[in-house]
Amino acid sequence: MEGNHKDRNHALLSASGASRWMNCNPSARLEDMFPDCSSEYAEEGTLAHEISELKLLKYTTPMSQRAFNSKMKKLKSYKLYKPEMENYTDVYVDNIKELLMSFDKPGTAEIEKKVDFSEYVPEGFGTCDFVTVDNGTLYIRDLKYGKGVPVSAQDNPQLMLYSLGAYLEFSLFNDIENINMGIIQPRLDIVSIFEISADELVKWAENEVKPNAEKAFNGEGDFKIGQCTFCRAKAICRARAEANMSLETEMKLKGNILSNEEIGEILNRARDVVKWVKDIENYCQQAILRGEYVPGWKVVEGRSVRAFSDTEKAMEVLKEKGIAEELMYERKVLTLTQLEGVIGKKDFNEYVGDFIIKPKGKPTLVPESDKRAPYVNDVINASDDFINLDNNGKDD
Ligand code: SF4
């Protein structure tokens, strides 16, 4: 794939890993011992960035329709391309267009801008999806194509480091007082904006980034769990193992049954344990497949499902044998999200928005700090109503 998207995170102290190395300083050097394996999701995100970049370049620079079409054709030929990418990347591009149109005079739009924040982070650099300056404000926009985890721009160290790098360069030629940073996550319908003054950003870089970056670069500081999910060392990091294994000894349980207070405390402490065990299982399987020996464990063939070696040919044979096509194929409606992706959010809502219902979600246990409103149990509420009715009846 073209472009510099793939190279963006190869700095030891990457902007995307900043929340981790700022919290757990030695993680950067530890992670460096493991290969940075790309996932299909990451590749998909890279492709969406390439498409967005092309669309924005077409909008902001002279580019013939022919050149655009030929580049787009190439991008569409990649295996991970899906038609829904068209609309999702349009959401991001439209957001940038709206921003540019809100300015009194057109500013310089920098797309896929390499930024350098090595003044605060050793060897620190990154790539901003979009940067522009207008009327004393530096604007940064970041496309997040994933839909697994909603990402907020508020106090987001990755965006703040990109902003810092852009500020250090753009402030040489512009008076910049404010930084306006935004994340556009089209598949989750999220546009998150965070604004701070340039002074605050530099203060943050000086007081928080610089000391942590120095420790992280030198492999110093304390290991701290909390940001382990995307750490490449997560399966065999001793600090994480010790934190999770200490659960048993830390609990001072009394009596034969647990109180709700104890259950709350256990769940709170054990939240990472399930993920940790899964990470170790995955690591162990890969180690055995690499030929290593892990005492007590082996890898076997799992359940496998029968499949045609050549589906088209097999269907032809069935047709020749007189099997009706209706018996061989099923016609299925795409999911609501797939249809919305293909048709585009606006048209989709206009055409069939009235038919959309949102049933009540299943009860889900989450920590009290979760932002969602507590689940309302209709069954209990309804039975309360019956009790009230009953009581009213008796009172009469
Ligand atoms: S797994 Fe967690 S504790 Fe260990 S280095 Fe990574 S972030 Fe730090």
Ligand 1 pocket residue status of 237, Cβ below 6 Å:
yes
**How far, rounded to the nearest angstrom, does the alpha carbon of residue 287 sit from its chain's CA centroid?**
27
User: Does 241 sit in the ligand 1 pocket, CB within 6 Å?
Assistant: no
In a domain, 365, yes or no: no
Q: Do 315 and 214 have their domain in common?
A: no
State the CB neighbour count (10 A cutoff) for residue 201: 21
For 104, residues 6+ apart whose C-beta sits below 8 A from its C-beta are 134, 135
Domain, as residue range, for 45: 6-218
Tokens for 204?
A: 């943050």
Tell how far the Cα of 96 is from the centroid of ligand 1, in angstroms.
36
Residue whose structure tokens are 């492709």: 47
Ligand 1 contacts CB of residue 227 (under 6 A): yes
Q: Is residue 296 part of a domain?
A: no
Residue 348 lies in a domain: yes
Please tell me the distance from the alpha carbon of residue 267 to that of residue 375, in angstroms, as a whole number: 19
| Cβ of 221 below 6 Å from ligand 1 | no
175 and 34 within one domain: yes
Start-end of H helices in 78-130: 84-101
* Residue 390 included in any domain: no
The candidate with the shortest Cα–Cα distance to 145, out of 58, 220, 66, 87, is 87
pLDDT at 224: 94
Q: Which backbone phi and psi does 101 adopt, to 5 degrees? A: -75, -20
Residue 211 and residue 336 in one domain: no
CA distance linking residue 43 with residue 82, whole number of Å: 13
Structural domains in the chain (count): 2
Distance 351 CA to ligand 1 centre (A): 48
Helices (H), the chain: 18-23, 27-31, 40-60, 65-76, 84-101, 157-170, 198-204, 210-218, 238-250, 260-289, 311-320, 325-328, 336-343, 345-352, 378-395
271 token code pair = 């939240």
Domain-embedded: residue 48: yes
User: For a substitution probing ligand 1, which of 22, 215, 234, 276 has the most ligand atoms within 8 Å of its CB?
Assistant: 234
CA of 277 to the centre of ligand 1 (A): 14
Residues 346, 202 share a domain: no
Is the shortest distance between the CB of 128 and ligand 1 below 6 Å?
A: no
In sign, the C-alpha dihedral spanning 239, 121, 41, 336 is: positive
Task: Report yes or no on 281 lying in a domain.
Answer: no
Query: To which H or E segment does residue 110 belong?
Result: strand 110-116
HSE, CB side, 13 Å, CA atoms: give it for residue 125.
12
Considering only CA atoms, which of 225, 264, 215, 216 is closest in space to residue 245? 225
The residue among 151, 184, 218 that closes a domain is: 218
- Say what the pLDDT of residue 34 is: 86
Please list the pLDDT of the chain residue by residue as tens digits (396 residues): 434 444 344 689 999 999 999 999 999 999 988 887 778 888 999 999 999 999 999 998 888 999 999 999 999 999 999 988 999 999 999 999 999 999 988 777 899 999 999 999 999 999 999 999 999 999 999 999 999 889 999 999 999 999 999 999 999 999 999 999 999 999 999 999 999 999 999 999 999 999 999 999 999 999 999 899 999 999 999 999 998 887 665 556 567 788 898 888 888 888 888 899 999 999 999 999 999 999 999 999 999 999 999 999 999 999 999 999 999 999 999 999 888 888 888 899 999 999 999 888 899 998 888 888 999 887 666 666 655 555 554 444
How close are the terminal C-alpha atoms of the chain, in Å?
78
196 part of a folded domain: yes
Q: Residue with the nearest Cα to atom 2 of ligand 1?
A: 228
* Residues 316, 213 share a domain: no
Q: Which atom of ligand 1 is nearest to the CA of 225?
A: 3
Question: Does some domain include residue 258?
Answer: no
What is the distance between the alpha carbons of residues 158 and 209, in angstroms, rounded to a whole number? 11
Residue nearest to atom 5 of ligand 1 (CA): 27
- Looking only at the bridges linking them, the beta strands covering 110-116 and 125-134 are antiparallel
- The CATH number assigned to the domain holding 102 equals 3.90.320
